[in-house]
Structure 1
Amino acid sequence: MRELRNVRGLHPRDLTGRQRLLVVYVIGLISVVFVFTLLYSWGMATFENRPRTLLHSLNKVVETLTTTGYGADSPWQSPEMTVLVITMQISGIVIGFITLRVLVIPLYERSPLNLDDRLSIKNDHVVVAEYRRDTEVLLDELEELDVDYVLVESDREEAKQLSDDGYQAIHGDPEDGDDLERASIEKASTLITDAGDRTASVVLTALEANEDLRVISFTASVRRKAAFAEIGVDRSVAPHALIGRRLAEKATTPVTVDSDLDDTSVAIREVLVRRGSSLHGVQIADSPLVAHPNLTLVAGWFDGELRVPPSPTDRLTPNTVLVIAGPEHTLDEAAKEVSGVRNPRDSSHDRIVVAGLGEGGTAAVETLPEHVSVTTIDQSGGADVVGDVTEPGTLEAADIGHASALIVTVDDDATALLAVAMARSLASDIEILTRVTETEKTAQAFRAGTDYVLSVQQLCARLVAAEVHGERVMDPVGQIRLVRADASAFSGETLQDVRRETDRGWTVVGVARDGGVRTDEETVIESDDEMFVAGSDEAIQQFEQTVDTA
Structure 2
Amino acid sequence: MRELQNVDGLHPRDLSQRQRLLVVYVLGLVAVVLSYTALYNFGMRAYESRPQSVFRSFQAVLATLTTTGYGADAPWTTPEMNVFLGLVQVTGVVIGFVTLRVLIIPLFERAPLSLDDRLSKKEGHVVVAEYRRDTDLLLDELEARDVGYVLLESDQTEAKRLSDEGYQAIHGDPENPSDLDRASVEEASLLVADAGDRNASIVLTAMEANEGLRTVSFATSPRRNPAFTELGVDRSVAPHALIGRRLAEKATTPVAVDVAGEGDGTEDGGEDAGSVEVRELLVRRGSPLHGVRVGDSPLADRSDLTVVAGWFDGELRLPPSPDDELSPNTVLIVAGPERAIAGATADLSNLRAPREERNERIVVAGNGEGGRAARDAIPDDVAVTTVDSDPDTHPDVVGDVTEPKTLRQAGVGGASALIVTVDDDATALLAVATARSLSADVEILVRVTDAGKESPAFGAGADYVLSIQRACARLVAAEVGGDPVVDPVSRIRLVRADADSFVGESLSSARRDGGCGWTVVGVVRDGTVEMDERTTVEPDDVVVVAGSDDAVREFEGTAEEG
TM-score in same-fold range (> 0.5) = yes
Contact 2:128 2:151 in 1 (8 A): yes
Q: Among 292, 300, 322, which residue is 2:302 paired with?
A: 292
Structure 1 range deviating more: 502-511 or 438-447:
502-511
1:46-61 to structure 2, matched below 5 A, reads 46-61=46-61
Matches of 1:106 and 1:531, distance apart in 2: 67
What is the one-letter code of the residue matched to 2:10?
L
Structure 1 range deviating more: 104-113 or 4-13:
4-13
Matches of 1:154 and 1:168, distance apart in 2: 14
Matches of 2:414 and 2:553, distance apart in 1: 42
Offset from partner CA, 1:455-512 (integer Å, 9 cap, x none): 1111111112111222344214458665656656665554356567899886532223
Q: Which blocks of at least 5 consecutive residues in structure 1 are unaligned? A: none
Change (3 A) 1:30 1:479: farther
Specify the alignment match of 1:410 in structure 2. Answer: 422
Question: Residue 451 of structure 2 aligns to a residue in which SS?
Answer: coil
Structure 1 range deviating more: 511-520 or 51-60:
511-520
Q: Among 341, 353, 360, which residue is 1:350 paired with?
A: 360
Contact 2:276 2:529 in 1 (8 A): no
Specify the alignment match of 1:448 in structure 2. Answer: 460
Matches of 1:191 and 1:158, distance apart in 2: 20
Specify the alignment match of 1:191 in structure 2. Answer: 191
Contact 2:308 2:546 in 1 (8 A): yes
Shift of 1:513: 2.5
Change (3 A) 1:278 1:443: closer
Matches of 1:276 and 1:393, distance apart in 2: 29
Structure 1 range deviating more: 228-237 or 213-222:
228-237
1:463-478 to structure 2, matched below 5 A, reads 463-477=475-489
**RMSD across aligned C-alpha pairs, in angstroms?**
3.2
Shift of 1:58: 0.6
What is the one-letter code of the residue matched to 1:424?
R
Matched, 1:366 2:369: no
What is the one-letter code of the residue matched to 1:113?
L
Matches of 2:154 and 2:321, distance apart in 1: 39
Percent identity of equivalent pairs: 62
Shift of 1:285: 5.7
Shift of 1:397: 2.0
Specify the alignment match of 1:170 in structure 2. Answer: 170
Shift of 1:383: 1.3
Matched, 1:457 2:466: no
Matches of 1:541 and 1:83, distance apart in 2: 87
Shift of 1:409: 0.2
Matches of 1:314 and 1:229, distance apart in 2: 33
Contact 1:485 1:548 in 2 (8 A): no
Offset from partner CA, 1:82-112 (integer Å, 9 cap, x none): 1111111011011111111111111123575
1:34-113 to structure 2, matched below 5 A, reads 34-109=34-109, 113=113
Shift of 1:445: 0.2
Structure 1 range deviating more: 239-248 or 101-110:
101-110
1:227-306 to structure 2, matched below 5 A, reads 227-255=227-255, 258-259=258-259, 260=262, 261=264, 262=266, 263=269, 264-265=272-273, 267=276, 269-273=278-282, 275=284, 281=290, 283=292, 284=294, 289-306=299-316
Shift of 1:327: 4.5
What is the one-letter code of the residue matched to 2:369?
E
Contact 2:111 2:164 in 1 (8 A): no
Shift of 1:76: 0.6
Change (3 A) 1:67 1:317: closer
Contact 2:7 2:15 in 1 (8 A): no
Specify the alignment match of 1:431 in structure 2. Answer: 443
TM-score normalised by L of structure 2: 0.88
Matches of 2:319 and 2:257, distance apart in 1: 17
What is the one-letter code of the residue matched to 1:351?
R
TM-score normalised by L of structure 1: 0.90
Structure 1 range deviating more: 351-360 or 364-373:
364-373
Offset from partner CA, 1:325-367 (integer Å, 9 cap, x none): 2346754675578676554572223111111011000111111
Q: Which blocks of at least 5 consecutive residues in structure 2 are unaligned? A: none
Contact 1:268 1:323 in 2 (8 A): no
Shift of 1:392: 1.8
Matches of 1:398 and 1:64, distance apart in 2: 88
Contact 1:354 1:376 in 2 (8 A): yes
Contact 1:489 1:527 in 2 (8 A): no
Structure 1 range deviating more: 115-124 or 301-310:
301-310
Offset from partner CA, 1:392-450 (integer Å, 9 cap, x none): 22222222222221110000001100111111112222111100011111001000110
Offset from partner CA, 1:142-180 (integer Å, 9 cap, x none): 222222111101111111111122211100111111111
Matches of 1:539 and 1:92, distance apart in 2: 72
Specify the alignment match of 1:150 in structure 2. Answer: 150
What is the one-letter code of the residue matched to 1:162?
L
Matches of 1:79 and 1:73, distance apart in 2: 15
Q: Among 421, 425, 428, which residue is 2:433 paired with?
A: 421
